[in-house]
Amino acid sequence: MRRWLALSLPWVVWCACNSYYYAPNTLYTPHLIERHDAELGICGLRGSDFSGFEFHGTYAFTNHFALMANHLDVRGRSPSQDRRGNGRLSEAALGVYFPLRQVSNTVFVGAGTGQVFNEFPKGSRATLKFHRYFGQYGISVEQGALRIGTGIRLNYLHYREGHIDYRVGESDVSKIILIEENSPFIFPEFSVNLRIGSRPVWANLCSTIVEHERAKELGWATQTIGLGLLLEVDHFWRAERPKK
Amino acid sequence: MKRVFHFGLPLVTSLLLLTACEQKPDFEYYYYEPEDYALLSQYLNLPQRPDNYSTKLPKHLEAQGLFARAVDQDKAILGRVLFYDKNLSKDKKVSCASCHRQEIAFSDDKPVSRGVFDRVGTRNSIALGSVLNFSAYYGTDLFGPSGIPFFWDNRANTASEQNLATMTNPVEMDMKHPEIVDAVKAQPYYAPLFRMAYGDETVTIQRISEAIANFVNAIGSYRSKFDREAEKTIGTEVWSNRERLNFSGFTPAENRGKQIYLDNCASCHSPLQGRPMKMFANNGLDATITDKGVGGITNQPAHMGMFKVPLLRNIALTAPYMHDGRFATLEEVIDHYSTGIKPHPNLSPELRLGSQPRRFNFTPQEKSDLIAFLHTLTDEELLVDKRFSNPFK
């Protein structure tokens, strides 16, 4: 219950001076109904101490199969300006979709690569690179001008490489050592998203949370919220979606 | 649906295979640049992973409001090298560590210290290991007027002032400020250490003293048998007088000695060896003073013949005792308080009965018990703590 409450609440917490070694991208649940459906989304993203943007794209290349691509780019800076960081994640996935009237069920499996970079006073830095494999299930329901989606993503997160200046401080070195000792991590993420609009443009609000008991110890951001636009680009080569 | 399985199953299988092929994390930790570390390694034994100089005091001391302040790690690392570097003395044979030897709790075993060219000083080297932690209450830079000053006569307000005064003292290291700077510049291993500590290689006397101060401020003793036992009392009894409980890990003699200490000594030296109860005092060593002590700095008659009141941590290791090293053993010290206190106008009130010196008249058993207790103040870990050891090869 608490999980769903967290997902539905606006993001109001603002912490100070944290450095992160993982932040979840939006768990994107496309609304795919038929072949050639294509969505492109851009989203402004915010988490505790960082913000950024992400792109999503899906294309249904057959009546049941679709491709998905995501890219995340976040940045953060401490209020005193002496610490900053950024993170990137790019991934691609192949999936299947099962439309049922106005309900779209999607399952994707994919892989991606990313990196987090944190810079501390005196120019000390910590850079971690990782691979992420995932499988996700999403469901999206359309009712008039409203689309509501929810999803679960199971991640296999493997930190493959790190360059760490010991001067980043004991606290961060401890987190990184914990990451090194425990990688890979398998954990779920949950999301809800709310879309308002009409074809081909939708306003999109989404929230994703990480479910891992040691997330704080590992220096992971446990929640992100995004606000953006979603464009059904197939609209431009297909004037009207045939009714099923 | 069949196609879903035809495509989906191989895809999931490939992903699983991919995850199985992942190598172990390849994390590289570094502090020094490789070429810097190669240079440093020619002269110094410094770990690739920098030492952590932060200190967490035991609970029984934190309960008294005592906390170790943060020191700058990079400056403390530089300070450690400077502390042990004999190039900072006129004859290149004396370093700070010459009179503050780690194996005897950063004290000296001579009554009064010997400096450059074997010049004889006037006072006994204070044991740095007698202090709980310098950053917990020493220095007016950290604590304002309540910060304890340095030296037996409290003439230096900060650790920086203290180390500069030592380096320039003619009977200690006998250097002028520009000579110290030149001596540091001449050593190739300092360039990377200054870069790590300050971001550039500029050597100044302020930086040198600050770095040593950071190192000294990290030194302290808080892991003795007494501390381990005292920490156990937290949460077991009323807040006050916890130390009066018999410690379960103490021998009967140690517990009896603790009671004698608390009844007779703690009002100056602190019940829990936290912070001395007095900044300075006259303990009746001489009826006619030959060393003015604090009075020589303040020129106040009421301060004549008064000296810093130290904590007694590691006291069993830091003979000889008193500001002039006149007592060679703990037995001699206890004999002094037992029957030897001399009258003096500035004699500490705790050591007098009316106008006469107090006679504690300890029995042989009491003396033996008190010494047994004083041995529980030895912090064996400090003596071998690599963070504070000589880094030179």
Alpha carbon separation from B72 to A16, B21, B78, B99, B197 (Å, rounded): 22, 42, 10, 24, 8
Which pLDDT score, from 0 to 100, does residue B49 have?
A: 84
Alpha carbon separation from B22 to A58, A162, A244, B266, B353 (Å, rounded): 27, 15, 44, 62, 80
Considering the domain boundaries, does residue A110 fall inside one? yes
Chain B contacts of A176, Cβ < 8 Å?
27
Is B269 within 8 Å of B258 (Cβ atoms)?
A: no
Whether residue A10 is predicted with pLDDT greater than 50 in this model: the reply is no
Chain B contacts of A183, Cβ < 8 Å?
25
Q: Which residues in B have their CB inside 8 Å of a CB on A?
A: 3-4, 7-8, 11-12, 15, 18-19, 22-23, 25-31, 49-50, 52, 54, 73-74, 196, 199
Considering the domain boundaries, does residue A243 fall inside one? no
Q: Of all helices (H) and strands (E), which one includes residue A186?
A: strand A185-198
DSSP state, B172?
T
**The two structure tokens encoding residue B380:** 């064996």
Distance from CA of B22 to the nearest CA of A (A): 8
Which pLDDT score, from 0 to 100, does residue A69 have?
A: 97
Could you tell me whether strands A223-232 and B352-353 are parallel, antiparallel, or unpaired per DSSP bridges?
unpaired
Residues 85-114 of A with CB under 8 A from B: 94, 96, 109, 111
Chain B contacts of A128, Cβ < 8 Å?
27
Considering the domain boundaries, does residue A117 fall inside one? yes
Which pLDDT score, from 0 to 100, does residue B234 have?
A: 78
Considering the domain boundaries, does residue A9 fall inside one? no
Is A209 within 8 Å of A3 (Cβ atoms)?
A: yes
Contact A133 B19 (CB under 8 A): yes
Contact A184 B19 (CB under 8 A): yes
Chain A interface test: which of B1, B15, B32, B195 (most A C-beta within 10 Å): B15
Whether residue A13 is predicted with pLDDT greater than 50 in this model: the reply is no
CB contact set of B386 (below 8 Å; sequence gap of 6+): B47, B51
Which candidate from B4, B19, B22 shows the least CB-CB separation from A64? B4
Contact B11 A109 (CB under 8 A): yes
ipTM of this model? 0.83
Distance from CA of B11 to the nearest CA of A (A): 8
User: What interhelical angle do B190-198 and B34-43 show, nearest 10?
Assistant: 130
Chain A contacts of B74, Cβ < 8 Å?
122, 167
Q: What angle do CA B96, B195, B92 make, to 5 degrees?
A: 30
DSSP alpha helix (H) spans, chain B: 2-20, 34-43, 59-62, 73-84, 96-99, 134-137, 140-143, 159-168, 177-185, 190-198, 205-218, 225-232, 252-264, 266-269, 294-298, 330-335, 364-375, 380-384
Which pLDDT score, from 0 to 100, does residue B90 have?
A: 97
Could you tell me whether strands B356-357 and B352-353 are parallel, antiparallel, or unpaired per DSSP bridges?
antiparallel
Contact A111 B11 (CB under 8 A): no
**Chain A / chain B CB contacts < 8 angstroms:** 74
Which pLDDT band, with edges at 50, 70 and 90, does A7 fall under? very low
Question: CATH number of the domain that A68 lies in?
Answer: 2.40.128.100
Provide the b/e sequence for B99-113 (b: ≥16 CB within 10 Å): bbbbebbbbbbebbb
Which pLDDT score, from 0 to 100, does residue B15 have?
A: 66
Give the pLDDT mean for A224-242. 84
Chain B interface test: which of A136, A166, A172 (most B C-beta within 10 Å): A166
**The two structure tokens encoding residue A68:** 């998905």
Q: What is the rounded distance in angstroms from the CA atom of residue A45 to the CA atom of residue A237? A: 30
Whether A163 has its CB under 8 Å from any CB of chain B: the answer is yes
Considering the domain boundaries, does residue A161 fall inside one? yes
Which pLDDT band, with edges at 50, 70 and 90, does A5 fall under? very low
Which pLDDT score, from 0 to 100, does residue A81 have?
A: 75
Chain A interface test: which of B27, B77, B194 (most A C-beta within 10 Å): B27
Whether omega for the bond prior to residue A200 falls within 30 degrees of 0, making it cis, is: yes
Distance from CA of B156 to the nearest CA of A (A): 31
Which pLDDT score, from 0 to 100, does residue A9 have?
A: 41
Considering the domain boundaries, does residue A165 fall inside one? yes
Considering the domain boundaries, does residue A4 fall inside one? no
Which pLDDT score, from 0 to 100, does residue B1 have?
A: 56
Outline which parts of chain B fall under CATH 1.10.760.10: 52-221, 225-380
pLDDT in tens, chain B (393 residues): 565 556 566 666 766 776 667 778 899 898 888 899 999 999 999 998 888 898 999 999 998 899 999 899 999 999 999 999 999 999 999 999 999 999 999 999 999 999 999 999 999 999 999 999 999 999 998 889 889 999 999 999 999 999 999 999 999 999 999 999 999 999 999 999 999 999 899 999 999 999 999 999 999 999 999 999 999 887 655 546 667 788 999 999 999 999 999 999 999 999 999 999 999 999 999 999 999 999 999 999 999 999 999 999 999 999 999 999 999 999 999 999 999 999 999 999 999 998 899 999 999 999 999 999 999 999 999 999 999 999 999
Which pLDDT band, with edges at 50, 70 and 90, does A19 fall under? confident
Whether residue A161 is predicted with pLDDT greater than 80 in this model: the reply is yes
Is B329 within 8 Å of B319 (Cβ atoms)?
A: yes
Which candidate from A167, A173, A176 shows the least CB-CB separation from B74? A167
Q: What is the rounded distance in angstroms from the CA atom of residue A20 to the CA atom of residue A221? A: 6
Give the 3-state secondary structure of residue B146: helix
Q: What is the rounded distance in angstroms from the CA atom of residue A131 to the CA atom of residue A129? A: 7
CATH of domain B52-221: 1.10.760.10
Chain B contacts of A163, Cβ < 8 Å?
27-28, 30
Which candidate from B8, B52, B73 shows the least CB-CB separation from A96? B8
Q: What is the rounded distance in angstroms from the CA atom of residue B151 to the CA atom of residue B162? A: 7
Contact B27 A159 (CB under 8 A): yes
Q: What angle do CA A73, A79, A82 make, to 5 degrees?
A: 85
Instruction: Look at chain A and report how many structural domains it folds into.
Output: 1
Contact B27 A161 (CB under 8 A): yes
Give the pLDDT mean for A164-177. 90
Which candidate from B8, B12, B31 shows the least CB-CB separation from A166? B31
CATH architecture assigned to B225-380: Orthogonal Bundle (1.10)
Name the residue range of residue A133's domain: 20-28+37-236
Is B205 within 8 Å of B164 (Cβ atoms)?
A: yes
Considering the domain boundaries, does residue A66 fall inside one? yes
Distance from CA of A152 to the nearest CA of B (A): 17
Distance from CA of A167 to the nearest CA of B (A): 7
Q: What is the rounded distance in angstroms from the CA atom of residue B134 to the CA atom of residue B382? A: 14
Find where tokens 């204070």 sit. Answer: B126
Whether residue A217 is predicted with pLDDT greater than 70 in this model: the reply is yes
Find where tokens 């996700």 sit. Answer: A136
Q: What is the rounded distance in angstroms from the CA atom of residue A225 to the CA atom of residue B187? A: 55
Contact A158 B25 (CB under 8 A): yes
Q: What share of chain A is helix, strand, coil (3-state, %, to 5)?
A: 15, 60, 25
Chain B contacts of A111, Cβ < 8 Å?
15, 18
CB contact set of B65 (below 8 Å; sequence gap of 6+): none
Q: What share of chain B is helix, strand, coil (3-state, %, to 5)?
A: 50, 5, 45
Exposed (0-12), middle (13-18) or buried (19+): which is B2, by Cβ within 10 Å? exposed
Q: What's the one-letter identity of residue B359?
A: R
Which candidate from A64, A133, A162 shows the least CB-CB separation from B3? A64
Is B323 within 8 Å of B283 (Cβ atoms)?
A: no
Whether residue A130 is predicted with pLDDT greater than 90 in this model: the reply is yes
